[in-house]
Amino acid sequence: MKKSLFIFLFGILATFTAAAQETVVKGSVTEGDSYEPIPDVTVTIEGTSVSTTTDTSGEFQFLQQVPLGEQVLQISKNGYVSKRYPIIVNEGKTLNITDMTLDKVVTDADLFTITLSDDELNDDTSGMDNISGLLQSSQDVFQRTAAFEFSSSFFRVRGLDSENGSVLINGIEMNKLYNGRPQWSNWGGLNDMLRNQELTTGLKPSEYNFGGILGTTNMNVRASQYREGGRVTYSTSNRSYTNRLMASYASGQLDKGWSFAFMASRRWGKEGYQEATLYDSNSFFATVEKKFGEKHSLNFTSIYTPNRRGKSSPNTQEVYDLKGIKYNEYWGWLDGEKKNSRIKEIEEPILMLNHYWDISDKTRLNTNVGYQFGKLGNSRLDYAGGGNPSPAYYQNLPSYALADPDGPDYATAYQLEQNFINGGQIDWERIIDANVTNNVNGVNAAYALYEDRSDDKQLTINSILSTELNSNILLNASVNYKKLKSENFGEILDMLGSTTGYLNFDSFDSFQYDYRNPNQVLGVGDKYRYNYNLYADVVSGYAQAQFKYTKIDFYLSGSYTNTQYQREGLFQNEANVEFNDAGQIVKDNSYGKGEKLTFNGFGAKAGFTYKITGKHIIDANAGYLTKAPTLRNTYTNSRSNHDYVGVSNLEAIDGVGEITEEKITSLDVSYILRSPIVKAKLTGYYTKIEDANEVSFYYADGVFGFQNDQGIVVASDLISETLQGVDKKHIGAELGIEAQVLPTLKLKGVASVGQFTYDNNPNLYLSSDSQTVSYGKSFLKDYKLSAGPHQAYSVGFEYRDPDYWWFGATLNYFSNAYLDVSPLTRTRNFYTDVDGLPFNDYDEDIARELLKQEEFNDYFTVNLIGGKSWKIDDYYIGLFASVNNLLDEVYKTGGFEQGRNANYRELRDDVNSPKRVFGSKYWYGRGATYFLNLNFRF
């Protein structure tokens, strides 16, 4: 009996002892560089369902029972390299793991800056500008894929241009007032200094501005925000440049409140993927900050990135068939070197001063002053006294001889073909010889190399307020002022052997470019063809309230913007001056200051996030805004006169509406899944753009209504085309999904399915010199927008080994990309003869086929990416490599119909020729390319 009682009491004691000696597994996770705690890290015991996450202090503890013995602990978070730690769990013991770290994934950001900023510098079509707001490696798999996988195919998020998103540096908006787009090359090559970014996508609220319908990206370049240390990087590639060398250093926090950071880089190469596309770019960055006590801080930043880049040409399919997709018509041999006639040069330093005031623990005021100045130039050949120097000029190609009105001339076509295949480049020596011959004869130069220049000076001042009313409500507000003076002119760069000068006179249409200085003979450095200033003053403000609760978050935001534009002519263009019989000027639409234009823009948006559970979330946003047209789409022929949309020669154009603000309605709804293994987001969106304007310039054949000085109707001319009151519709869905199927293996998939169309028949009119002709409606409704692939899909995987090497591959599929149609060809001009009557041989079935929009072929691309990192004491070495378009797929990324054949008869005859003389022009994507990057961090 006593023995039984003893056993019973011992059992009770053992039970209480076991309870007192509970098995505990806990620990903490910090960032590998800064050792700052990382919240929301998923911590899992491999092979079990035991999982938890770190708190705001980076600490965790398992509440579930952890299996005893040898286990593997996995820690992971998006944007970091996952790690595995072997542990031994002993019964009744506490295991506290405090030395675990995660390292940020930075390789994607390196790759992206290459792809975006360098390609944006390359061409005027802004093929890469559509990824606005995706500068950083976003947590969203769809955004990352759009940036890293789709950008080389001219993909545009939701079919929208980058003017619909805001890019800021230290709270100062960098979008250009001229076209609304950020000029990426103004900060190109500064990868290390632009990693601190705050991104909002779509209509989501930003703490810095109202934003656009593509969101806001703010790059924080405060000196105090950089981790102490430095980095040296070398890269090589065959995409845009051959070599890149970068060096950066940040001091971290120093004594007495000082901190600084600086960076210098160089990117260079004689030729990129396309022929003769030279690259010459230097980048410099410096920022210094001084803290005054606990509440005030002053930061000064300077950015200087001068760069030069050889441009490449769009070409007809005939040209590509003869010379291949790397062909570029803009260059020729001179003194044993490839000389490109079209160089884009940008030199626009940025200076900014930022004051940060922590008024209290909950209220902050940030006041900024920014000033940007410098030049943007695009060079080209002018041939006032000679023939067209373009080697791909239509009369130099076989199709011209095959379209002979008397029947195909095969002998001449063959000779032209052989000449083009064996040559096909600018003949610089012939051009110089022509000018030298003119020197002997005392005649002005036949050719000159000149530059279209825009020298901007822009001042920006703003204040941004953020205050927490309580733990649930955050208020944001800002006021902004921008003032721009843009000096625009042509400038002679090279006289190409001439000593007799170049005449500032239009030899084709016989008028003075500057009537106040007639028959002016110019030399290098003189202003040529046009000279005018554009002024812009923009005052804006916004207010926003964000509400955050346990189950629902929502926001309300409103904005107001007042915009004023004015043009000032410094040349008096003779074609825009009217004289009386006595030769006196009675009307001048060119010289001096024109009418001041004023626009008022309003914006309102709201949205909510409903958390059904921790895993299932619904997000919805809606907005309506009106905004001023850009300077580019306000003035219809600013090089010659004061005309703006709806007004010509100081008078309203009959049948064309007045210029007004652009209206945008946008909404999106998303379902978001967040689980330890699978993360997904499905979004449906709708955007309607109304009352937009589009201004373009080209040479057109087959247009009626223009008259020369003798009153004779002319059917071809260099024209300005204005589309007024354009409506567009963007509708579609986006899906992004990724699954961490193994601790080291992640699968991902993305789909973008959209339809982007013209949604009305806008008004169209043409301007040439001082003449304007309205063609009524352009029947564009339901034509597809040339906005890159309307559908894009991607599947891939990423393997990250615990030994710090990684590898990934993606398969991408693109479809539903369309040629940009000619609006003029869709007006009454198409079926009207020069006498104003319809063509007597017009066939509706043939016309319908001629006007059918071209859809490009679908295509696949395969991309590979990989890297390895090493830690040696306190130093890090990183190696990164990527291959794009591994299978060397040939595909079209964009193109446009030429305006040369603007009526039924001209277009029909051209299409029926053995080879089209004025076929559409295209851009092709790059074939297989590589990028290799090596960096040393200390």
Cα→Cα distances 85→70, 71, 93, 567, 801, Å: 11, 8, 18, 67, 13
What was the pLDDT predicted at 133? Answer: 34
Here the contacts of 832-839 (C-beta below 8 Å, separation 24 or greater) are: 832/704, 832/903, 833/704, 833/903, 833/905, 834/704, 834/713, 834/715, 836/704, 839/903, 839/904, 839/905
User: Mean pLDDT, to the nearest integer, of 171-192?
Assistant: 95
At 105, is the pLDDT very low, low, confident or very high (cuts 50, 70, 90)? low
Percent of the chain with pLDDT over 90: 76
> Quick count: other Cβ atoms within 10 Å of Cβ 406?
5
> Using the 8-state DSSP alphabet, how is residue 213 labeled?
T
Q: Are residues 350 and 221 in contact, defined by beta-carbon separation less than 8 angstroms?
A: no
Give the closest residue to 656 by CA, choosing from 563, 773, 760. Answer: 773
Write down the residue that tokens 């001048």 correspond to: 588
Q: Into which CATH architecture does domain 23-102 fall?
A: Sandwich (2.60)
What was the pLDDT predicted at 116? Answer: 42
Give the closest residue to 452 by CA, choosing from 532, 380, 374. Answer: 380
pLDDT tens by residue, 443-480: 999 999 999 999 999 999 999 999 999 989 999 999 99
What was the pLDDT predicted at 37? Answer: 79
Instruction: State the Cα–Cα distance between residues 571 and 531, nearest whole angstrom.
Output: 5
Pick 640 or 115 by higher pLDDT. 640
Contacts for 546 with CB less than 8 Å, ≥ 6 apart:
205, 473, 474, 475, 476, 553, 554, 555
pLDDT tens by residue, 678-695: 999 999 999 999 999 999
Q: How does 199-208 read in b/e, with b if 16+ C-beta sit within 10 Å?
A: bbbbbbbbbb
At 843, is the pLDDT very low, low, confident or very high (cuts 50, 70, 90)? very high
Pick 199 or 247 by higher pLDDT. 247
Identify the weakest region by mean pLDDT among 2-6, 330-334, 363-367, 811-815.
2-6
User: Mean pLDDT, to the nearest integer, of 712-725?
Assistant: 74
Instruction: State the Cα–Cα distance between residues 897 and 823, nearest whole angstrom.
Output: 9
At 110, is the pLDDT very low, low, confident or very high (cuts 50, 70, 90)? very low
Q: Are strands 258-269 and 279-292 parallel, antiparallel or unpaired?
A: antiparallel
Q: Are residues 152 and 136 in contact, defined by beta-carbon separation less than 8 angstroms?
A: no
Identify any residues that bridge with 63 across adjacent strands, giving them in sequence order. none
At 97, is the pLDDT very low, low, confident or very high (cuts 50, 70, 90)? confident
User: Mean pLDDT, to the nearest integer, of 541-565?
Assistant: 96
pLDDT tens by residue, 253-299: 998 999 999 999 999 999 999 999 999 999 999 999 999 999 999 99
Helix residue ranges per DSSP H, 134-281: 141-148
> Using the 8-state DSSP alphabet, how is residue 407 labeled?
S
Q: What is the dihedral of CA 812, 815, 820, 826, to 10 degrees?
A: -170
Q: How does 778-810 read in b/e, with b if 16+ C-beta sit within 10 Å?
A: bbbeebbbbbbbbbbbbbbbbebeeebebebbb
Domain boundaries, the chain: 23-102, 107-373, 392-425, 659-938
* DSSP labels, 628-663: PPPSTTTBSSTTT---BTTEETTEEPTT-PPP--EE
Identify the weakest region by mean pLDDT among 15-19, 445-449, 577-581, 701-705.
15-19
The C-alpha angle with vertex 174 and arms to 172 and 179, in degrees rounded to 5, equals: 145
What was the pLDDT predicted at 5? Answer: 39
At 111, is the pLDDT very low, low, confident or very high (cuts 50, 70, 90)? very low
Identify the weakest region by mean pLDDT among 338-347, 725-734, 829-838.
829-838
At 139, is the pLDDT very low, low, confident or very high (cuts 50, 70, 90)? low
**φ, ψ (nearest 5 deg) of residue 785:** -80, 140
Pick 654 or 699 by higher pLDDT. 654
**Could you tell me the two tokens for 882?**
């990527």
User: Mean pLDDT, to the nearest integer, of 655-667?
Assistant: 95
Longest dimension (CA), the chain: 140
What was the pLDDT predicted at 326? Answer: 97
> Quick count: other Cβ atoms within 10 Å of Cβ 11?
9
Residue 137 has pLDDT above 80, yes or no: no
At 4, is the pLDDT very low, low, confident or very high (cuts 50, 70, 90)? very low
Instruction: State the Cα–Cα distance between residues 378 and 722, nearest whole angstrom.
Output: 23
Residue 818 has pLDDT above 80, yes or no: yes
- Give residue 393's identity as a one-letter amino acid code: Y
- Residue 869, SS3 per DSSP: strand
**φ, ψ (nearest 5 deg) of residue 432:** -65, -40
Instruction: State the Cα–Cα distance between residues 145 and 564, nearest whole angstrom.
Output: 39
Give the closest residue to 350 by CA, choosing from 281, 302, 289, 305. Answer: 302
User: Mean pLDDT, to the nearest integer, of 839-846?
Assistant: 94
Write down the residue that tokens 């409140």 correspond to: 257
Percent of the chain with pLDDT over 70: 91
Helix axis angle for 107-122 and 141-148, nearest 10°, is 50
Query: How much of the chain is in helix, strand and coil states, percent to nearest 5?
Result: 15, 50, 35
User: Mean pLDDT, to the nearest integer, of 130-145?
Assistant: 60
Instruction: State the Cα–Cα distance between residues 176 and 484, nearest whole angstrom.
Output: 10
What was the pLDDT predicted at 219? Answer: 95
The C-alpha angle with vertex 479 and arms to 473 and 483, in degrees rounded to 5, equals: 155
Q: How does 554-565 read in b/e, with b if 16+ C-beta sit within 10 Å?
A: bbebbbebebeb
Give the closest residue to 101 by CA, choosing from 26, 195, 27. Answer: 27
The whole-model pTM stands at 0.87
